[in-house]
Amino acid sequence: MVIAVSPLFATGAMATAISSDLPITVGLLATMNAVFFGVSAVLSPIGGMLVPKWGVPNALTAQTLCGGISLAVIAGASHSGALIAAMLPAAAGNALIQPAVNTALSSIPTHRRGLALGTVQAAIPLAGIAAGFALAIAGDRVPWRFVGLAYAGAALVVCVLCRTLPAPAAATKVRVSESAGPGDRPTTAAPFRSLLAVAAVCGGAGACIPSFSAITGTTSDVASSSITIAITVAGTACAAVRIWSGKRAAGRLDAGLRMMAWLLLLGVIGYGTIAIPHWWAFAPALVVAYCGAWGPSTLINLSVTLMRPHDVAVASGRSQAAFYAGCTTGPVVFALVNARFGLLQAWWTIGLTLLMAAAAAALMIRTTEPSPG
């Protein structure tokens, strides 16, 4: 999971160092973001179909190889266009990761699957934090190209290790009925399309945080160092929420959806208050918004494995495509509202989408409950 997002995260973290050799602008970083998530969204359904044919070890090998190639291209870039081009193999590999991971973890008994998914999902926010710390430690003493090559080398080592992974056992779909009541059993009749909509909203809302949280803090007179600390705390809290929520759901679809709805409502509060022009409101609102938008990722993927136990990879490809489509369009909606009405109204608009997603999650809970009589 870390390698899947490393090309984009590492470039953003090293943007200041890279700018000494190549022209780095906000527009360039935004274009890289759009290419990475947009291509990932388009290719994810294909990735979901390829994983069952290739097998999980081969899919993970291909994903890490693509990540390594992307990082090598970044390290050797001689012009800014190469950084954008590097997002193409990265996105191709990224399209394989969630279908492969969900397929592998679907072989874990359902009462332990949520914790496993949460632990894996926690790697993503922690990867962003690690990239920032690595840059802070290295500073000007280590050339950014060496850092990029080190990332690429690590990816290739993981690629070799993926070749040694055993194929996952068949998914365990019976354990829930053995350990839980009728209302906890996976069902393919659940409104999967509603889950896709929730995934898209979470992706769109979550992508607005790294894109616009810094400028929002600046307008609230928050010091740059305080913004960095707030983002670090928010990422750490999100990782903890992803692990905790997966464990708490305990492989139960209705419990997972219920927690998803509450987290989304929590996010509404964060997005509604993050742009209040006072420094004391920014940091707690950022943490709450981060956890509310990015936190449900574990529960979304857990729900995918329970709603579609017979075609986890294909369903994961569709849910990942929806999530990345949101990541691509969410910041665009935010920017349009901000240009027309202002920063506060833009955050409120994104918060409103989270409120609708929470309502959708609450409605999905009803499909997991036993029919009367």
What digits encode the pLDDT tens for the residues 37-50? 899 999 999 999 99
Is residue 297 in some structural domain? yes
Rounded to whole angstroms, the Cα distance separating 93 from 167 reads 19
> Would you say residue 312 lies in a domain?
yes
How many CA atoms within 13 Å lie on the side-chain side of 290?
28
Please check whether residue 170 lies inside any domain of the structure: no
Token representation of residue 260: 């998803």
Among 248, 208, 214, 215, CA closest to 230: 214
Give the range of the structural domain holding residue 345, as residue numbers without chain letter.
Answer: 175-368
Percent share of the chain, pLDDT over 90: 26
Cα four-point dihedral sign 16, 20, 26, 30: negative
Q: What is the pLDDT of residue 188?
A: 46
Residues 189 and 306 in one domain: yes
- Is residue 20 predicted with pLDDT exceeding 70? yes
Residues 150 and 180 in one domain: no
pLDDT band at residue 105 using 50, 70 and 90 as cut-offs: confident
Q: Of 51-60, 86-95, 360-369, where does mean pLDDT reach its minimum?
A: 360-369
In this prediction the pTM is 0.81
Looking at 162, 183, 205, the residue that finishes a domain is: 162
245 and 139 share one domain: no
Do 201 and 329 belong to one domain? yes
Tokens (6 digits) for 71 = 């990082």
Residues 125, 227 within the same domain: no
**In terms of domains, do 286 and 193 share one?**
yes
CA angle 139, 143, 145 (to 5 degrees): 130
Question: Quick check: 370 and 266 in contact, CB under 8 A?
Answer: no
pLDDT in tens, 119-166: 877 777 776 666 555 555 555 566 778 877 887 888 888 888 877 777
Q: What is the pLDDT of residues 176-189, one digit of tens each?
A: 333 344 444 444 44
Asked whether 17 and 144 are in contact (CB, 8 A), the reply is yes
Residue range 241-265, pLDDT digits in tens: 999 998 888 778 888 999 999 999 9
**205 in any annotated domain:** yes
List the alpha helices (DSSP H) in the chain.
2-13, 15-18, 26-54, 56-75, 80-105, 110-121, 123-138, 144-162, 175-179, 192-219, 224-249, 253-273, 279-294, 297-307, 312-340, 343-365
Residues 153 and 256 occupy one common structural domain? no
pLDDT-derived band at 218 (thresholds 50, 70, 90) equals confident
* Residues 76 and 122 occupy one common structural domain: yes
373: in domain: no
Same-domain pairing of 76 and 223: no
Q: Is 211 found in the same domain as 125?
A: no
Whether residue 13 lies inside any domain: the answer is yes
Does residue 339 surpass a pLDDT of 80? yes
What mean pLDDT comes out for the span 100-106? 85
Which range (25-29, 64-68, 208-212, 369-373) has the least confidence?
Answer: 369-373
Query: Residue 139: is it exposed, middle or buried by C-beta count within 10 angstroms (0-12/13-18/19+)?
Result: exposed
Phi-psi region of 55 (alpha: psi -120 to 50; beta: other; left: phi over 0): left
Number of domains forming the structure of the chain: 2
Nearest one of 324, 332, 326, 354 to 90, comparing CA atoms:
324
125 vs 299, higher pLDDT = 299
Q: What is the pLDDT of residue 116?
A: 82
Domain stop point among 162, 191, 214:
162
Q: How confident is the model at residue 89 (pLDDT cuts 50, 70, 90)?
A: very high
Between 65 and 122, name the one with better pLDDT. 65
Instruction: Identify the CATH number of the domain in which residue 185 sits.
Output: 1.20.1250.20
